[in-house]
Each structure stands twice: as C-alpha cells, then as structure tokens.
Amino acid sequence: MKNAWPHPGDSNTAIARKVALALRAELMHYDPVKVKELDLHFRSLGQHWLDNLSAAFDDDDFVDSEGAGNILGVSASQVSHYRSAGKITGVKHGRRFLYQVREVRRLAAARQAVTDARLALRTSGDNVSADRTSVE
C-alpha cells in the first residue's frame, strides 16, 4: 500500500504526534475529564510535549484554525464551531479565519476551568462512594 500521508516531509515522530493530537481532540468532545486525567498521567511519565503547544506563540500572534485547535486540544472544525457559537473571535483572512493567540488562550483557560471542576467533582464523588462503602 502506498503511503497516503498528506505531509511527505514529516518524520515518524511528527506523524505520531499529529495522530495523537487528532485522537486527543476527538476524545475531548466525548470526555474532557478523561483527557485531563490522561494528560496528567503522561506528564507524570515525563511526556511534557503537550505542555508546549501554545508556548511558541506570543499573545499578539495570530494562528489558523489548526493552530488554535492544537492550543485548545480540539480539531480545526471544532474551532470553527466555537467561532460560530461566539466563544472565540476569528478574523477573516482570504478563505480562512485567523485567531489571536490571546483569545485562544482565554478560551483554553475557560475550558480548563470547567474540566478541572468536573475532575474535582468526579474525584470527590469517588471519595464519597468509597466513604459510604466503608461506613455501611
């Protein structure tokens, strides 16, 4: 079978990271708390490369939908949905939209706060059920 990868210059590591980010973005739609748990787990194993997705940009820089998606941990199409829903502002540039990194980081922080709250509830819920079991 011929290699159909659309970016022929990518190394195997770059391909693996792009695939991992795409899978992570898809899982984020279904269970953002699980993504957070997995991120924490892999960071504990020394895998910090996800931490640097937005570090390469200044707040005043602009990124396309794919770049914004990488910072947010979602797909480029999800970034478009966020724009349509008014959660993020995009600037039309030719046939595509660009997003100010400051705005993308603001949305990422808001999403992270929700995920952290859900994780805290899930964790405290686990403790509550464990406490009930030990009492009964």
Q: Enumerate domains of the chain plus CATH numbers.
A: 12-127 (1.10.1660)
What is the pLDDT, as a whole number, of residue 129? Answer: 44
As a whole number of angstroms, the distance between CA 101 and CA 54 comes to 8
| This prediction's pTM | 0.57
Mean pLDDT value across residues 118-125: 78
Q: CA-to-CA distance for 1 and 3, rounded, in angstroms?
A: 7
pLDDT given at position 135:
30
Interval 9-61: pLDDT, tens: 777 877 787 788 778 777 877 887 888 788 888 888 988 776 656 566 788 88
Distance, in Å, from the CA atom of 115 to the CA atom of 40, rounded to the nearest integer, reads 13
Residues 76, 65: Cα–Cα separation, whole Å: 5
From the list 62, 38, 58, the residue with the least C-alpha distance to 50 is: 38
